[in-house]
Amino acid sequence: MITTSIIVGIFGCILVIYLVFFIIRKYHQKKVMSMPFPKDWKTIFKANIPIYKYLSNEFKTELKSLTLQFMSSKDFEGCGGLEITDEIKITIAGEACLLLLNRNITKCFPGLHTILVYPNAYVAQGKNALQGGVIKSSESVRLGESWQNGAVVLAWDHVKVQALNFHDGHNVVLHEFGHQLDQENGSANGTPILKNRSSYKTWGKVLSSDFMELQLKTQSNQVDVIDSYGATNPAEFFAVATETFFEKPKQLHCNHPRLFEELKKYYNLDPTIWTETEA
């Protein structure tokens, strides 16, 4: 028979193990983040993330620090025969951490543990619910996914091409890591965790209005600065709007000024000052 003292002892041991693990991990992260940023990594930033050169020196320093934290706490796995290299890891980490600049975050995508990388677009299995409760299996070609169980999936060829072309409004890393931010409150619904409780009312009003506007434009084949994929659902709208905010900020500000201001408050950034030209 298990006594109360034994149960208390077991929980005590578990707590000690957890605390030791936590201390070791925090020490490791602090040690990693205090290391100088490798020159090879900086070279990758300059070659694969063109927007890096437009950042202020303060933001460049912060981005490098965030990238070090990202690298110390996330695992990368190659899929489909892809061998993971520093170029792959640093390009993905650097772009993902653009979303965290100037936000005073304490943890770097806390719910994320693994980044799965395919060499190119991959086929994913899915299930669709039909009438009468029938479930039909399906396949779709994808460039990326964000899972709530702590993983992001990316197609490397599109990651690199879209990173180099930072003003076309399409960026799979910004998109999928935007989903990660959205999922930090437990579900992907287009509303990430906001700084103040009072912000949710305005956020919901503005994003709902612009989402419905995009749906109407998509149905009538009208073009918007926000890609039509954003009309799929509120979660995709937030992710696509995030891509547009970072890659086409001036056009977004012109066409969706209220949405731009909401994203500006959330990300605590104004990407319009990062470059003088925008496609």
Q: Judge contact between 270 and 214, C-beta under 8 A.
A: no
State yes or no: pLDDT of 9 exceeds 70: no
Nearest-angstrom CA–CA distance, 124 and 144: 10
State yes or no: pLDDT of 260 exceeds 80: yes
Q: Give per-residue pLDDT as tens, 56-77.
A: 999 999 999 999 999 999 999 9
In a domain, 204, yes or no: yes
Radius of gyration from C-alpha coordinates of the chain = 21
In a domain, 47, yes or no: no
134 falls in which pLDDT band (50, 70, 90)? very low
Q: Judge contact between 117 and 85, C-beta under 8 A.
A: no
In a domain, 209, yes or no: yes
Q: Give per-residue pLDDT as tens, 217-239.
A: 999 999 999 999 999 999 999 99
What is the distance in angstroms between the CA of the first residue and the CA of the last residue of the chain? 72
Q: What pLDDT was estimated at residue 148?
A: 86
Q: Give per-residue pLDDT as tens, 135-176.
A: 545 567 788 999 988 999 999 999 999 999 988 889 999 999
Nearest-angstrom CA–CA distance, 76 and 89: 7
Tokens of 120: 């190119």
Q: What pLDDT was estimated at residue 247?
A: 95
Nearest-angstrom CA–CA distance, 212 and 52: 34
In a domain, 90, yes or no: no
210 falls in which pLDDT band (50, 70, 90)? very high
In a domain, 228, yes or no: yes
Q: What pLDDT was estimated at residue 3?
A: 65
For the chain, the domain total comes to 1
Q: What pLDDT was estimated at residue 240?
A: 98
In a domain, 203, yes or no: yes
**CATH code: domain of residue 267:** 3.40.390.10
State yes or no: pLDDT of 277 exceeds 60: no
In a domain, 181, yes or no: no
Range of the domain at 220: 189-279
Report residue 269 CA to chain centroid gap: 16
Helix (H, G, I), strand (E, B) or coil at 166: coil
**Bridge partners (DSSP) listed for residue 155:** 118
State yes or no: pLDDT of 263 exceeds 70: yes
In a domain, 251, yes or no: yes
Question: What percent of the chain is modeled with pLDDT above 90?
Answer: 70
State yes or no: pLDDT of 11 exceeds 70: no
